[in-house]
Structure 1
Amino acid sequence: MTSTNLLGRITTTVLLGLALGASQAAAKDLRYATGFAPNSTGAKAQEASAAYAKEISKGDLDIRVYPQSLLSFTEMSGGVRDNIADMGMVLFPYFPAEFPNSTMVSEMTMLFSQHDTGDRGGLAWTGALIEYITLNCPACIDEMTAQNQVFTSSSSTEYMMMCMKKVETAADMRGVRIRAPGAHWTRWANSVGATSVSVPQNEIFEGLSQGILDCSLSGAAELLDLSLVDAVKYIIRDVPGGGFGGTGLMNVNLDVWTSLTPEQRTELLRVGAHGSAYGSWNYRVNNLAALEAAEKKGIEIVAPAQDFLKATRDFTNADLKSIAKTYAEKYGLKDTDQAVQKMSELFEKWVGLVASIDSAEAYQELLWNEAYSKINVETYGM
């Protein structure tokens, strides 16, 4: 063998070794934190997304899910910012000073009651919020960046009242102690004479059982996820309406995001679309199953009286008009009227888009086509 051929073979071997090493170095092991309990609807959806990530990346993205262990919901934003977790489920209403633009629009979910959303309000809201933040709200992206985070996905579901006492009229709400997991619901509670009580999600059962709470605003799936089916006596539908609409389902630490290749960022957005679709879809399915289980358990499903519905509609109409002004004054936000108008338009658009969706897979494809495919991974979040 000539020296030239030998040198060529050595060079080829070295280059192949360097390429293999670079490929191996590019593989990412990522820690995902959620405040949901193990085996809950939310945790199961993220476990499924972790498996999906491994599949589509051929093992290049290996996500380990930490349900209710690595970080609680109240610790989540700081934990993702400081890279205690690489990714986490950040609830914007828990951190309004850090995410005022995102939190403002999250308080608009009572729009559900102004459209014929049925059991698809959460699906429409998820799509609208993702499209709004990623493609229409530079201020939202900037506030994520300030917290060393990148928004990639969301999830939402309808909320209803779960009570220990029968609440049927507006007058029945006077003096009721209710867990209201959002400022807009606190304002509604105050408007009908109730008192908002702050209770962490994992303490709702205890709060209801021990008389700390008379009612909780929760998704129906939590009847089974949190065993509330063994505590509550009444479920009140249609009031106050809306859902929890301020979820950064998979906020990614910005340093981690920038360390990814464009291909890996695209894969992570596909995982975000998967988590958003399956999380919201599974909540819809599990909500219906939980309500059926509640009825079999003997829990009374209460239809609110007309005066209660009217009082709630009147509050909703007035509150939606005041949100923009409130956030402009409290947090110094700009163009809040336009932001509220844009989110309203997007929600109406998505109500139509999700009306005929018949599976999580179809919903994931819809989310990708309408929003995710339009994100520039070379610059997004950076």
Structure 2
Amino acid sequence: MKAKFKIATGVLALALAPHVVAAETKLSYSSWFPGNSTLHTKSLTPFFDRVTADTDGEITFQVFTDGTVSGGRNTLQTIRDGVADMGLLATSYHPGELRTSAWLSEGSILVRDALVGAGAYNEMIFQNCPACLDEMEEQGIMPIAYHATPPYKLMCNKPVESADDMAGLRVRSLGSWASWVNAAGGTAVNMTVPEAYEGLERGQLDCVAGNTAWLIQMSLYDVVSDVSDMNIGTFAGGIPINMNMRSWRDLTADQQTAFFKEGALAAVDVALEFAAEDDEALAGAGTHDLAVIEPAGDLTAAFDAFAETESQRMLDLAYQRGIENAEELLTTYKALLLKWEGIVDELGGDRDAMAARIYSDAMPKLD
């Protein structure tokens, strides 16, 4: 099947004629995050409520959390096959199916913070990466909004302070973090976020590279004793809002527009609410016997030296994966990161202003 997406006059033109739907459509959503996590309570649930309000009650949602329908690695298949209409996806779990967008997510070390990542990644995918959209359509899925998280840190069951402390560490890490861990003398372990708790508990892991909000969301307080207080990059490439293509085609143009507008706000909410919970998790370190370790100069210097090689590493990886026009794509993405650093600095993290800018600059508009 030829792709039904095309980039035209700066917007995404969808060659999918929306249908007229019945008075009410109930969409199912599959998530492998806990239902009481900030992702749901502060971002997704408000998003669902806003879409229902915007569509005068015509669109409602049935949400399944905690991996009851599918886990992190098989949610793509769950949506593609119509088992669920929507679901929580992460590009990094699907480097084969979502080859180009997963490769762009490899550039975590290049991303300053979550708001910058949310703006730049959405604009990159929807306005500058036809291959990314083609790959999503091949899976029968319509992307609606991508998110980024606050900077990752190392959460461990032993102190990690110096460069020497990295030797032999088994670290749950993906993408650029996995490359850094291996280069630093550790061993990267490929696990989903929910699997990391069990990995630490069973002694299969020494550390997790992730958001300190996971200390609360995924109960990592129970299995972590130390946090290295060093920012190691921001994950951009979560797809919390997407839809089975057949379900998407059944929506009216106005309903589709509501998804994009509210999706832009949801992307901002993920960034802001995760950042707030990151701070909350670190503030509660003392009550959980958690040590927050200031990294030594040799550890930060070693990380900074690795970061300087990131662009070349990404290009080498693109060659290995057969990604076309990689240098042009990476140049564009880095320019967008600089653009959105300026926007975030200008807007000062204002929620509504950021959402409006992501919608105007990044989100698809229906022809």
Q: TM-score, normalised on structure 2? A: 0.89
Equivalent position of 2:366 in the other structure: 377
Amino acid at match of 2:30: A
Shift of 1:144: 0.7
2-structure distance, mates of 1:78, 1:138: 22
Shift of 1:325: 3.0
Amino acid at match of 1:274: L
Alignment of 1:165 with 2:164, yes or no, is no
Q: Is contact 2:109-2:310 (8 Å) kept? A: no
Counterpart of 1:285 (choices 271, 276, 280) is 276
Amino acid at match of 1:377: L
Alignment of 1:131 with 2:123, yes or no, is yes
Alignment of 1:325 with 2:325, yes or no, is no
Q: Is contact 1:179-1:213 (8 Å) kept? A: yes
1-structure distance, mates of 2:183, 2:147: 28
1-structure distance, mates of 2:252, 2:349: 34
Counterpart of 1:353 (choices 326, 330, 343) is 343
Q: 1:66/1:294 Cα in 2 relative to 1: closer, same or farther (>3 Å)?
A: same
Give the SS at the match of 1:73.
Answer: coil
**Residue correspondence of structure 1 range 1-382 to structure 2 within 5 A:** 25=22, 27-44=24-41, 45-67=43-65, 68-112=67-111, 117=112, 121-157=113-149, 158-180=151-173, 182-239=174-231, 241-327=232-318, 329-355=319-345, 356-372=347-363, 375-378=364-367
Shift of 1:23: 7.0
What are the superposed Cα offsets for residues 137-165 of structure 1, whole Å, 9 maximum, x if unpaired? 11111111111111111122121100111
Q: 1:352/1:343 Cα in 2 relative to 1: closer, same or farther (>3 Å)?
A: same
Q: Is contact 1:53-1:63 (8 Å) kept? A: no
2-structure distance, mates of 1:311, 1:347: 23
Q: Is contact 2:144-2:263 (8 Å) kept? A: yes
Give the SS at the match of 1:251.
Answer: strand
Q: 1:30/1:305 Cα in 2 relative to 1: closer, same or farther (>3 Å)?
A: same
What are the superposed Cα offsets for residues 194-234 of structure 1, whole Å, 9 maximum, x if unpaired? 01123332232232233221111111111111121232111
2-structure distance, mates of 1:24, 1:332: 41
Amino acid at match of 1:367: I
Q: Is contact 1:50-1:65 (8 Å) kept? A: no
Q: 1:51/1:164 Cα in 2 relative to 1: closer, same or farther (>3 Å)?
A: same
Q: Is contact 1:35-1:69 (8 Å) kept? A: yes
Q: Is contact 1:34-1:43 (8 Å) kept? A: no
Equivalent position of 1:3 in the other structure: none
Equivalenced residues, count? 345
What are the superposed Cα offsets for residues 91-126 of structure 1, whole Å, 9 maximum, x if unpaired? 1111101111101111111013xxxx4xxx011101
Amino acid at match of 1:376: K
Amino acid at match of 1:99: L
Structure 1 residue ranges, 4+ long, deviating more than 6 angstroms after superposition: none
2-structure distance, mates of 1:272, 1:71: 22
1-structure distance, mates of 2:30, 2:348: 29
What are the superposed Cα offsets for residues 16-45 of structure 1, whole Å, 9 maximum, x if unpaired? xxxxxx977153211122211110111222
Amino acid at match of 2:329: A
2-structure distance, mates of 1:174, 1:260: 53
Equivalent position of 1:18 in the other structure: none
Amino acid at match of 1:259: D
Q: Is contact 1:223-1:294 (8 Å) kept? A: no
Q: 1:359/1:138 Cα in 2 relative to 1: closer, same or farther (>3 Å)?
A: same
2-structure distance, mates of 1:249, 1:25: 25
More helix by share: 1
2-structure distance, mates of 1:83, 1:23: 20
Q: Is contact 1:278-1:360 (8 Å) kept? A: yes
Give the SS at the match of 1:150.
Answer: strand
Give the SS at the match of 1:25.
Answer: coil
Q: Is contact 2:20-2:251 (8 Å) kept? A: no
Give the SS at the match of 1:320.
Answer: helix
2-structure distance, mates of 1:40, 1:184: 26
What percentage of aligned pairs have identical amino acids? 28
Q: Is contact 1:50-1:64 (8 Å) kept? A: no
Shift of 1:359: 4.2
Q: TM-score, normalised on structure 1? A: 0.86
Q: 1:128/1:24 Cα in 2 relative to 1: closer, same or farther (>3 Å)?
A: closer
2-structure distance, mates of 1:50, 1:178: 35
Q: What CA RMSD, in Å, does the superposition of the two structures yield over aligned residues?
A: 1.8
Give the SS at the match of 2:124.
Answer: helix
Runs of 5+ unmatched residues, structure 2? 1-18
Amino acid at match of 2:50: Y
